[in-house]
A and B are shown apart, each in its own frame.
Chain A
Amino acid sequence: MSVRQLTFREAIREALREEMRRDERVFLIGISMQFNIVNHVVDGLFDEFGADRCISTPIVEAGFTGAAIGAALTGMRPVVEAGNGCFLLRAYDEVTNEAAQYRYICGGSFKLPMVIRVANFAGIEAGGGAHHSRSTESRFIGSPGLKVVIPSTPGDAKGLLKTAIREDTPVLFFEHKMLYNIKGDVPEDPEYLLPIGPAALRREGKDVTIAAWALMGCRAIEAADALAKEGIQAEVIDLRTLIPYDRQTLLASVKKAGRAVIVEEGTRTGGVGAELAAFLAEEAFGFLKSPIRRVATPDTVLPASRYGAKLFVPQVADILSAVRSVLGE
């Protein structure tokens, strides 16, 4: 089957449409599912599937996330649209105390097939500030029972979302608002499924490992291309999923290069990068030729202006200087 160019937004919509056609238990729930005025990801699905399967709720993040849990427990496969990563925190209890742990508490006999889609990040373009633009994925990696998926290409978005919808475990699916309009290869195949877990090796290189995800995965590639012109071979690992994350690929790369830079859009302290750096320090310490460097938003409240956000959210130049630092330049 053929591969064609779709935007990230279209790829997600295609995954939703295919899964809703394939399985009538799959339904959408969240705010403005008919007129999807904020992100326009589910545009057109209401026309095909109707109000019964594209359910618009009041603005109640805990309420609709809890309702999705109830529906998932009793035979449905809800896909929640939770707005942005800051809004999702209103449902933190339902996501981390309930959805993540329900199955275990109930002795493993219950199934909880649900996906929570979150339009995360976007400080720079949206200028949304502190209540709209935080990168909240790090708040969810310490909740065993949840899988956390965070793609950076349209093809990955389709393949991973389809897999997530077919999982019997709750999956948090982070979408980056600044990626919605980028185009990329997307297989037409309605059975195009990517496994949750394996990272993607975007660039091979022997000098330094750059690990990133979502928009920072794209910036890491830009940085690697710039470095290549200087004769520095950077290996770029796009994690794609944070829980579980691909320890094997990360470890093999860092053992080879001996130098590592981890790039994340979220704030530094307690970030995902802290976990990755700790893991590498534990497992690859003897291979490291220089300290691991994290590139992240500094520990500050994100200013609301585009101008201000751009000063703090990692840019390609920040990645380049971190790479030069681990190379001892």
Chain B
Amino acid sequence: MEIPIAKIQMIYRKMVLTRTFDMKLNELAAAGEPLVHHSGLGQEATPVAACAVLRPDDYVMPYHRGWAWAIGKGMEPKFILSELMGKKTGYMGGRGGAQMADWNLRILGRSGIQGAHIPITAGVGLSIKMQKGDQVVLCFFGDGPPNIGEWHEGMNLSAIWRAPAVFICESNDYAEGTPRMQTMLNERIAERAAAYRMPGVTIDGNDIHAVYEAVGEAVDRARRGGGPTLIEAVTYRWLGHFPRDVEHYGGYRSREEVDGWKAKCPIKRAGQKLMETGILAPAEIEDIEREAQATVDDAVAFAKESPYPTREELLSGVFAD
């Protein structure tokens, strides 16, 4: 499945925006801004290219790592940052913080509990089928959840219901500070799909073309009633689990390993191909970077100037009206 040219440009633009935004969040966190951010630097390709497959009425069930899924599905940095800062102008009025959600974009809430969203995804799939819809739900997670009981419950439910769900594991080989191979005997996470009789594939998660193709195929199958798929997208996070993680470079991961993966930058790789094929000129790439920087700078100004919600506003929304 080839990516249409207009979509490649959009994917590239969103990856650059994701990276620029992520770097700004790291900078803000380092300066003492109290915001929750699990950097996704180095992991931009998979969520952005996967979301590029979707229709606006398809659902995304996100996870904690990075903001590529958010920007990929249409979120704007200014409202994300406002939410992270607890401002009234954030996506959820300053209530949920990093657990970003937006009904209009069909981004279902990002759970703060690892693995809890897998059965929820199964239920979204069930619900789509019961309403005879043809949407799909993309569900993201990292290396940790495949070892959680609820992951297995949710995968099995999705399989028996033939839920129109695509499970995307961004496999960066570490769950917080623990190497994946200390926590499972499976060489690849995708092997586990066989236990539920669903297709499972391992792909290069730093290659937007491989991601688009695998997700495109899985989404098509799901829409046609063919049930769920597990996609393991192999990638790497450049930074720590979160800003206070100081063991990620030369601690639980060797410096050589980290540097080696940085050389496999998904954005540089996509950009080079775009230039080689003449889809984008070097000057256009620079424009995209400049635009991203401007968007992020505007986002910071917008979020900082935005008011906090009142106590009354923060007390509302617990129960339905």
Residue of A whose beta carbon sits closest to that of B61: A70
Contact of B119 among A27, A62, A168 (CB under 8 A): A62
Give complex CA distance A106, B61 in Å: 13
Tell me, yes or no, whether A75 is within 8 Å of chain B by CB. yes
Beta-carbon contact of B123 and A67 below 8 Å: yes
Which of A27, A76, A169 neighbours the largest number of chain B CB atoms within 10 Å of its CB?
A76
Given A69-B120, A109-B103, are A104 and B317 neighbors across the interface (CB < 8 Å)? yes
Give the size range of B's interface with the partner.
35 or more
Contact with B along A55-93 (1 / 0, CB 8 A): 101101011111111111111101000000000000001
Tell me, yes or no, whether B131 is within 8 Å of chain A by CB. yes
Tell me, yes or no, whether A256 is within 8 Å of chain B by CB. no
Beta-carbon contact of A93 and B127 below 8 Å: no
Beta-carbon contact of B111 and A98 below 8 Å: yes
B-side contacts of A195, CB under 8 Å: none
Give complex CA distance A68, B261 in Å: 40
Given A105-B92, A107-B96, are A70 and B103 neighbors across the interface (CB < 8 Å)? no
Tell me, yes or no, whether B3 is within 8 Å of chain A by CB. no
Tell me, yes or no, whether B118 is within 8 Å of chain A by CB. yes
Tell me, yes or no, whether B126 is within 8 Å of chain A by CB. yes
Given A97-B116, A105-B95, are A63 and B126 neighbors across the interface (CB < 8 Å)? no
Tell me, yes or no, whether B101 is within 8 Å of chain A by CB. yes
The main secondary structure of chain A at its interface with chain B is: mixed
Given A70-B125, A74-B124, A110-B103, are A103 and B320 neighbors across the interface (CB < 8 Å)? yes
Residue of A whose beta carbon sits closest to that of B109: A106
**A28 → B minimal CB distance (Å):** 12
Tell me, yes or no, whether A94 is within 8 Å of chain B by CB. yes
B-side contacts of A8, CB under 8 Å: none
Beta-carbon contact of A105 and B99 below 8 Å: yes
Contact of A76 among B102, B118, B120, B131 (CB under 8 A): B131
Give complex CA distance A98, B119 in Å: 11
Which of A76, A105, A111 neighbours the largest number of chain B CB atoms within 10 Å of its CB?
A105
Tell me, yes or no, whether B140 is within 8 Å of chain A by CB. no
Beta-carbon contact of B95 and A104 below 8 Å: yes
> Which of B20-28, B153-161, B242-250 contacts its partner?
B153-161
Tell me, yes or no, whether B316 is within 8 Å of chain A by CB. yes
Contact of A106 among B96, B117, B156 (CB under 8 A): B96
Beta-carbon contact of A60 and B92 below 8 Å: no
Residue of B whose beta carbon sits closest to that of A59: B153
Residue of B whose beta carbon sits closest to that of A105: B96
B-side contacts of A58, CB under 8 Å: 153, 156-157, 160
**A32 → B minimal CB distance (Å):** 15
B-side contacts of A65, CB under 8 Å: 119
Beta-carbon contact of B126 and A98 below 8 Å: no
Tell me, yes or no, whether A154 is within 8 Å of chain B by CB. no
Residue of B whose beta carbon sits closest to that of A55: B126
Beta-carbon contact of A63 and B119 below 8 Å: yes
Beta-carbon contact of B157 and A64 below 8 Å: yes
B-side contacts of A68, CB under 8 Å: 123
Residue of A whose beta carbon sits closest to that of B150: A62
Tell me, yes or no, whether A142 is within 8 Å of chain B by CB. no
Tell me, yes or no, whether B145 is within 8 Å of chain A by CB. no
Given A76-B131, A103-B320, A110-B101, are A63 and B122 neighbors across the interface (CB < 8 Å)? yes
Residue of A whose beta carbon sits closest to that of B112: A97
Beta-carbon contact of B113 and A93 below 8 Å: yes
Give complex CA distance A113, B131 in Å: 16
Beta-carbon contact of A62 and B125 below 8 Å: no
Given A73-B108, A74-B59, A93-B113, are A52 and B123 neighbors across the interface (CB < 8 Å)? no
Give complex CA distance A169, B91 in Å: 21
* CB proximity to A under 8 Å, residues B78-93: 90-93
A-side contacts of B123, CB under 8 Å: 66-74, 78
Tell me, yes or no, whether A167 is within 8 Å of chain B by CB. yes
Tell me, yes or no, whether B318 is within 8 Å of chain A by CB. yes
Tell me, yes or no, whether A102 is within 8 Å of chain B by CB. yes
Tell me, yes or no, whether A108 is within 8 Å of chain B by CB. yes
Tell me, yes or no, whether B128 is within 8 Å of chain A by CB. yes
Given A94-B150, A105-B95, A109-B92, 19 extra CB contacts under 8 A: A58-B153, A63-B150, A64-B119, A66-B122, A67-B119, A67-B123, A67-B154, A68-B123, A70-B108, A71-B123, A73-B120, A73-B123, A74-B108, A74-B127, A74-B131, A97-B116, A104-B318, A107-B96, A167-B320
User: Ordered nearest first, which 3 A-B pairs have the shortest CB separation?
Assistant: A70-B123, A66-B119, A108-B317
Could you list which residues of chain B lie within 8 angstroms of chain A, going by C-beta atoms? 59, 90-93, 95-96, 99, 101-103, 108-109, 111-113, 116-128, 130-131, 149-150, 153-154, 156-157, 160, 316-320
The 30 listed contacts between A and B (C-beta, < 8 Å) are: A63-B119, A63-B156, A66-B118, A66-B119, A67-B123, A67-B126, A69-B120, A70-B119, A70-B124, A72-B123, A73-B120, A74-B123, A74-B127, A76-B127, A93-B113, A94-B119, A94-B120, A94-B150, A98-B120, A103-B318, A105-B101, A106-B99, A107-B90, A108-B92, A108-B317, A109-B102, A110-B103, A110-B109, A111-B320, A169-B319
